[in-house]
Amino acid sequence: MREVEVSRFVRATPAEVRRALTPTALVEYEGSFSVVDVEERDDATVVTAGSRGLGLALRFEERDGTTYYTQGGDAGPFDAMETWVTVRAEDDGSRVTIRSAVSLGLPLPNLTDRLAAWKRKGELKRALSSLSADLG
């Protein structure tokens, strides 16, 4: 698996940022998939998303103040994907950091996982840009 991380200062309080970063919003902010369905469970929220015939389920849960989500099942663009979102107070706003680990599970993982991580980093940058614009 390859890991990528992006971080951005947002001019909003940590509470405002956390309210904005719902599972549905995170998927939409990333920009690659549209939300099809949301299922609230006792221990997690499962978001079903799709784009151009490709679907996937993302399982979201809170872990010690960090939003953690992973691609579930066998469907989806990755063989494995997990992501951590942290929000910390900074100056008059918040520092939002998103870290993700991805693998395509294909031959030549040094190349294929590097490409997957590059694509994922673009999604994470887009998510933080969209969040910042919404909270402007």
Which domains does the chain show, CATH number per domain? Answer: 2-135 (3.30.530.20)
Percent of the chain with pLDDT strictly greater than 90:
85
Confidence category of residue 89, pLDDT binned at 50, 70, 90: very high
Is the pTM higher than 0.75? The answer reads: yes
Convert 25-47 to b/e letters by CB count within 10 Å (16 or more is b): bbbbbbebbebeeeeeeeebbbb
* pLDDT, position 135: 95
* pLDDT, position 72: 84
- Segment 16-44 shows an average pLDDT of 96
